[in-house]
């Protein structure tokens, strides 16, 4: 199986990866406070989302608009605002949108691996790929970073621009095809991130045989986490890292 620095199993069980840090109203997801809470609760890596703002910076934000994160106070698109405007917006109850580089700098000090998901619901997927490559190809190689996407072409573009970066293919239930394992082989990704409903013993075995790590999203029930651990998955992406660490 291919090695992914910082995303290996821990003490014979799957690594716990905090999904957007933690997901609850306080602290808001994908913020520094959320990532800090995730670590306090036992996460051994964090997952976050990136997209571009109007001035070209990679910001950590899942949604294309500010609506949900500002509790419907602001309906503007992230791509319509420059960084100076975005950094001034308050996400209740008082958090701020961070830059990718800010989170990476903090995570490196914590010796915390980071899974960066490139969002595909963007005006230009190519622009996101180029910005991600620019930000990460010169990043400290000793700090474990894994880049994921649902879009195989975005991952292929990243491989061309920054070949040393580890990549993971995200797979959604409604987009699953029987050829997904073959696609992962051709793309030479290091990992496949399966939606929880897709995980079977045979699929995990086949992906491992192809040299891929298998991480699963989004798992919040302890019983399901234990079942997945027994199937041999390598990592579990969760909104509630504390609950899963306690259960495993």
Q: Which residue's entry shows tokens 């992406």? A: 237
Output the CA–CA distances (angstroms, integers) from residue 202 to 48, 199, 207, in the order listed.
Answer: 29, 8, 9
Backbone angles phi, psi at 192, to 5 degrees: -120, 130
Q: What does the block give as tokens for 66?
A: 């500010």
In this model, does residue 217 exceed pLDDT 90?
Answer: yes
Any idea which of 12-21, 47-56, 133-142, 166-175 has the lowest mean pLDDT? 166-175
**Residue 222: its pLDDT value, please?**
97
**Residue 4: its pLDDT value, please?**
82
More confident site: 173 or 65: 65
Which residues pair with residue 60 across a beta bridge? 50
In this model, does residue 10 exceed pLDDT 90?
Answer: yes
Nearest-angstrom CA–CA distance, 46 and 35: 7
Angle among Cα 53, 58, 62 to the nearest 5 degrees reads 80
**Residue 1: its pLDDT value, please?**
45
Domain annotation for the chain: domains and CATH numbers? 15-247 (3.20.20.190)
- Rounded to a whole number of angstroms, the CA Rg of the chain reads 17
H/E segment holding residue 225: helix 222-231
DSSP states along 169-222: EEE-GGG--TTHHHHHHHHT-SEEEEEGGG--HHHHHHHHHTT-EEEEE----H
Q: For 77-104, how does the pLDDT look when each residue is reduced to its tens digit (9 = 90+)?
A: 999 999 999 999 999 999 999 999 999 9
Output the CA–CA distances (angstroms, integers) from residue 10 to 111, 153, 208, 233, in the order listed.
Answer: 15, 31, 17, 11
Nearest-angstrom CA–CA distance, 2 and 209: 10
Interhelix angle 125-136/152-161, rounded to 10 degrees, is: 40
Nearest-angstrom CA–CA distance, 50 and 196: 22
SS3 122: coil
Q: What does the block give as tokens for 236?
A: 């579990």
At residue 188 the predicted structure's pLDDT band, cuts being 50, 70 and 90, is confident
pTM confidence score: 0.96
H/E segment holding residue 125: helix 125-136
């Amino acid at each position: 199986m291919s090695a992914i620095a910082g995303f290996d199993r821990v003490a014979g069980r799957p690594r716990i990866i905090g999904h957007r840090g933690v997901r609850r109203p306080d602290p808001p997801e994908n913020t520094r406070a959320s990532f800090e809470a995730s670590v306090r609760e036992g996460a051994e890596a964090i997952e976050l989302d990136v997209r571009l703002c109007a001035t070209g910076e990679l910001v950590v934000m899942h949604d294309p608009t500010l609506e949900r994160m500002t509790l419907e106070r602001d309906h503007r698109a992230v791509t319509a605002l420059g960084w100076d405007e975005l950094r001034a917006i308050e996400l209740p109850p008082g958090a701020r949108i961070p830059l990718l580089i800010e989170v990476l700098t903090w995570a490196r000090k914590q010796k915390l691996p980071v899974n960066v998901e490139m969002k595909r619901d963007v005006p230009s997927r190519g622009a996101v790929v180029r910005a991600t490559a620019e930000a990460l190809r010169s990043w400290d190689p000793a700090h474990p970073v894994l880049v994921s996407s649902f879009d195989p072409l975005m991952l292929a573009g990243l491989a061309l621009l920054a070949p040393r970066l580890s990549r993971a293919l995200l797979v959604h239930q409604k987009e699953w095809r029987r050829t997904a394992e073959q696609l992962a082989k051709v793309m030479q990704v290091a990992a496949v991130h399966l939606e929880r409903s897709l995980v079977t013993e045979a699929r995990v075995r086949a992906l491992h045989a192809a040299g891929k790590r298998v991480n699963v999203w989004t798992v919040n029930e302890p019983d399901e986490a234990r079942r997945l651990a027994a199937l041999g998955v390598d990592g579990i992406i969760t909104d509630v890292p504390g609950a899963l660490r306690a259960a495993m």
